[in-house]
Amino acid sequence: MSSETETTEDGIVREIGHDEFDPVGTLALILIYFVIIGGLWAFMYFVEFLGNGPTVV
């Protein structure tokens, strides 16, 4: 590694306090996750599982 990365170990260019921080990126990522999970769940239950007959009744 270069010495440059040594001197700016954390690379922090600004301090952001609690009230100035809205985690919009996190919200965006987690909403995508939510949609994927919901869709996969429906696929797994209704297509993979219920379509895998015979099933115990």
Partner 1 sequence: MEVFANEYPDEAWVVRAALGSAFVALAIGGLMGLIQTLHRTGFYDSLISNADYYTVLTLHGVAMVLLFTIFFLVGFFQWAITDSLGRKSEDIRITKLWYGMMVLGSAMSAVTILGGFVDSGSLSGVEADVLYTFYAPLEAHPLYYMGLAVFIIGTWIAGFDWFRSWWAWKKENPDERMPLRTFMVLTTMLMWYLASLGVAISVVFFLIPWSLGIFDSVNSLLTRTLFWFFGHPVVYFWLMPVYMMWYVIMPKLAGGRLFSDPLARIVFVLFLVLSVPTGIHHQYVDPGIAEGFKFLAMTNTMFLLLPSLLTAFTVVASIEHGARQRGGEGYFGWLTALPWGKPAFTGMTLAGLMFAAAGFSGMINAGMSINYLVHNTLWVVGHFHMTVGTAVALSIMAATYWFLPKITGREIFSRRLGLAQVLLWFIGMVLMGNAMHRAGLAGVPRRTADPTYDQVIYDGAYGAIGELRFQIALGGVLLSLSLVLFFAHLVLSSFDIGERAAATPDSIPAPLSGPEQAPKVLDNIRLWTSIAVVLILITYILPLASIVTDGGGWLGDSYGVIVAEYVLPAVSSTIDIFVGVVA
Partner 2 sequence: MEIHRYEKLWFGLSLLLIVGFIGTITYGAVGAGVQMVSDDGGTVEPSFSTINENEKFAQQEDNQAVHVEGNEYEVAVIAQRFSFQPGTGSPIQVPEDSRVTFYVTSPDVIHGFSVVGTNANTMVIPGQIAEITVEFDELDSDEPKEYGVVCHEFCGAGHEEMAGQIQVVPEDQWEGDA
DSSP 4-51: HHHHTSS-------STT---HHHHHHHHHHHHHHHHHHHIIIIIIITT
Q: Is 43 an interacting residue with respect to partner 2 (CB under 8 A)?
A: no
Sites of contact with partner 1 (CB under 8 A): 1, 5-6, 10-18, 21, 23-26, 28-30, 33, 36-37, 40-41, 44-45, 48-49, 52, 55-56
Sites of contact with partner 2 (CB under 8 A): 22-24, 26-27, 30, 34, 37-38, 41-42, 45, 49-50, 52-57
